[in-house]
Structure 1
Amino acid sequence: MKKRIFISFAIEDEKYRGYLVKQAKNEMSPFTFVDMSVKKPWDEKIWKQKCRSKIKSCDGMIVLLSKNTWHSSGTRWEIKCAKEEGLPVIGMHIKKNDQGAIPPELRGKKVITWSWDNLAKVIKRI
């Protein structure tokens, strides 16, 4: 059964979300999931409400980590929300050699480097 995964990312890293979704659709992929990330900006007043509703409907969250993550208030709020809702949250560095600081919201959470094997392992555990 496919897992429902919320992909949290800084807007500057949107192309990496696209890569992840494409990778999961590849028939050789060792993992499958349904992408539940927010694909269009919502009015600020209702964004948190709608976002929380989407997060609550998921099995887990993958946070794409980069140098932009620390400065992304939306991403940091999504992580906090997922933790409040009891979802498993995994951080994943999008670049091996150019990693940004891990936001405090991910303290104590599993953080992996992006690879098919690493993703397959964490998604199976969600």
Structure 2
Amino acid sequence: MGKKRIFISFPIEDKSAYHHLVGQARNENSPFEFVDMGVKKPWDEKWKTNCRTKIKGCDGVIALVSKNTASADGQLWEVGCALQEEVPVRGVHISVKERPSALPREFAGVRVVSWTWDNIANFLDSL
């Protein structure tokens, strides 16, 4: 598998989970690797235009899902944008304890899986 260009979408409150995922991809024993194309700093007033351009240039989007997802306006916009642009999206629960009771409507049709190397590698292999 070659490196895929992946946009990582996450609630800002879950920044540590984002760093954990990027760190896992760098682990020499990891069965997956990707180029992180996610937003690393807040955008100016044109952030949606910049973000859409980044998402369109990616092979896929990994959306980290937690109890914070429903109130993460930026993440919800990113997932909706990816779906509009027909970029594949896979939701990944950040932990068993952090699973929301329901997913926001922006996640309609998005498969959400447990955070395992196999689940992430399978998504990347499908791209």
TM-score normalised by the chain length of structure 2: 0.95
Sequence identity, in percent? 54
Give the 5 Å matches for 1:14-93.
14-43=15-44, 45-93=45-93
Gaps of 5+ in 1: none
Residue 97 (structure 1) shift: 3.0
Q: Bigger CA drift: 27-36 or 101-110? A: 101-110
Gaps of 5+ in 2: none
Matched, 1:94 2:94: yes
The residue type paired with residue 63 of structure 2 is V
**Corresponding pairs, count:** 125
The residue type paired with residue 9 of structure 1 is F
Task: Show the counterpart of 1:13.
Answer: 14
- CA deviations on 1:64-105 (whole Å, 9 max, x unpaired) are 000100101100000111011110001110011331131211
TM-score normalised by the chain length of structure 1: 0.96
Partners of 1:56 and 1:97 lie apart in 2 by 32
Partners of 1:2 and 1:99 lie apart in 2 by 29
Runs (4+) of structure 1 moved beyond 4 Å? none
**SS at 1:22's partner residue?**
helix
